[in-house]
Structure 1
Amino acid sequence: MADTAVAPDAQAAARSPRRLARLDRETSLMLIVPPVLIALAFGGYVWWRQTADLDETELRQLRWSTVTSQIWQHTQLTLLTSVLVVLIAVPLGVLLTRGGLSRLSPLVVGIANVGQSAPSIGLLVLIWIWLNDIGFWTGFRVSVLTLTLYGLLPVLRNTIEGLRGVDPTLVEAARGVGMSQTAVLLRIELPLALPVIMAGVRTALVLVVGTATLATFINGGGLGATINSGLTLFRFPVMVAGAVLVALLALLVEWLGRVLEVLARPKGV
């Protein structure tokens, strides 16, 4: 009887290393395969750009100096906006799970939902018109402000849900051994909620990359200029080239978000 009772546990113990190894392989593939595919796709774009039969207008719009400058502008918009989103949404999400402020979380999330559901180009132009008289608010800064408003919701919502999903018994046990509320938050709650928060960050990153194409309409820079030029000049290759570059940048940013999630995730979570 003892042997039969122990057998399932022994089998589970034997399977656990294989399960962990499989998860490690899956994580490795997730981290290795996407950048390889992105590099191959970008290589395909470079090959097309060098061999395609383009007219003078298309060549001027797809000059390497122009494209690289727009990629850098798009990257700046994305990175700066993402930093602001995290700095605002995560602390706000933490506050909305503390004490009496938790009652305000549905209201704040509802406001963020309304803000994100508004047409992005309309909100971008309205904010630019509103702040245009102030010299400090250039097209780039207005774009960052608008994109920050758009990127807040996924991170804010996931921060709240991630913290609420932490097992209350773990929090009570930590407080029972004398940990302060700040220590419990930093050492227990946030590490356990990190996977959910990072999922929101990755969603926000992709959202920001896509919406940043609209910054060109207020002189905010980015790859949207190439797409807009293709539409305006009726040059299909230019429009598709801009769209492909935006898609590749979005995939790259999403992959970087996964890398950060893996690096920041505490062991055992």
Structure 2
Amino acid sequence: MNWLLEFFGKAENWSGPASIPARLLEHLEFSVMALVLAVLIAIPLGLLIGHTGKGGLGVVVTANLARALPTLGLLVMFVLLLGTASILPVIIPLVLLAIPPILVNTFEGIRGVDPELRDAAYGMGLRSGQVLGRVLVPVALPLILLGLRLSAIQVVATTTIAAYTGLGGLGRFVIDGFATQDYASVVGGSVLIVLFALVVQVLFTVVRWVTVSPGVSQRVKVR
């Protein structure tokens, strides 16, 4: 508790380029960039293979294997390959971390829609794209949002590694704190990262409550 009071009570931690607000914005920037790129890759691919059923098993197996890749190891590899002149060595490992949960949940969500519901949509004269957009995606939305939430929390927690390359983010408090034996900074930075992840959790809970139809939510609970 004393360490927290010391960290949050320092005036210099609230102003300047190395302050809490500045590091928080940097952390947010890295996290959002990685998540957006992962969404642009994983959502369309998950919708495609879930709707067509083509190549689904191979893609999902590959995505699940990718979850075992060590993010820190990837960071070191990309730093060696690309240097530290840009944020790419950090963003690429974060994107690779974020893709599997989004891809797998999107695929499983679309594939898991009741076949009778799909057939009824086609029977009403809807085209393939209309069936996907008007029927399958709304029903699969809870699983898709779950994948997004899992990826977002993982990315927010793992963006801490950006500090290893000399970039900013909340990880700077942790890494620099260990380097200088400033344990108040280590504890304070860790608390900020945890709070950030909790905010993301709450945000996605609200998004699900707003966007998912009550009928779909009840269906998911029954399952």
TM-score for the superposition, normalised by structure 2: 0.87
Secondary structure of the corresponding residue to residue 222 of structure 1: coil
Is 1:203 equivalent to 2:150 in the alignment?
Answer: yes
Structure 2 letter corresponding to 1:87: L
CA separation in 1, counterparts of 2:103 and 2:128? 21
Structure 1 residue aligned with 2:21: 68
CA separation in 2, counterparts of 1:46 and 1:235? 13
Is 1:178 equivalent to 2:137 in the alignment?
Answer: no
Which one of 77, 82, 86 corresponds to residue 126 of structure 1? 77
- Mapped contact 2:7–2:184 kept (Cα < 8 A): no
Q: Following TM superposition, where does structure 1 have runs of at least 4 consecutive aligned residues deviating by more than 4 angstroms?
A: 45-48
Structure 1 letter corresponding to 2:39: V
CA separation in 2, counterparts of 1:149 and 1:246? 20
For residues 82 and 234 of structure 1, do their structure 2 counterparts lie closer, same or farther at Cα, with a shift above 3 Å needed?
Answer: same
Secondary structure of the corresponding residue to residue 23 of structure 2: helix
Question: Could you list the runs of 5+ residues in structure 1 that have no partner in the other structure?
Answer: 1-44
Is 1:168 equivalent to 2:118 in the alignment?
Answer: no
Is 1:87 equivalent to 2:24 in the alignment?
Answer: no
**What whole-Å deviation, never above 9, does each CA across 1:52-87 have from its counterpart, x for those lacking one?**
xx7xxxx76x45432211100001111122222222
Structure 1 residue aligned with 2:91: 144
Secondary structure of the corresponding residue to residue 179 of structure 1: coil
Give 1:46 shift: 7.2
CA separation in 2, counterparts of 1:249 and 1:76? 13
CA separation in 2, counterparts of 1:73 and 1:175? 47
Give the total of aligned pairs.
211
RMSD of aligned residue pairs (Cα, Å): 2.1
Give 1:198 shift: 0.4
CA separation in 2, counterparts of 1:188 and 1:253? 28
CA separation in 2, counterparts of 1:197 and 1:215? 27
> Greater Rg, structure 1 or structure 2?
1
Give 1:261 shift: 1.7
Structure 1 letter corresponding to 2:43: V
CA separation in 1, counterparts of 2:88 and 2:6? 35
For residues 159 and 250 of structure 1, do their structure 2 counterparts lie closer, same or farther at Cα, with a shift above 3 Å needed?
Answer: same
Question: Could you list the runs of 5+ residues in structure 2 that have no partner in the other structure?
Answer: 217-223
Which one of 150, 156, 161 corresponds to residue 103 of structure 2? 156
For residues 46 and 190 of structure 1, do their structure 2 counterparts lie closer, same or farther at Cα, with a shift above 3 Å needed?
Answer: farther
Secondary structure of the corresponding residue to residue 197 of structure 1: helix
CA separation in 1, counterparts of 2:177 and 2:7? 17
> Which deviates the most, 252-261 or 198-207?
252-261
Give 1:130 shift: 1.5
CA separation in 2, counterparts of 1:189 and 1:257? 20
Matches within 5 A, 1:224-263: 224-263=171-210
CA separation in 1, counterparts of 2:62 and 2:128? 28
Structure 2 residue aligned with 1:49: 8
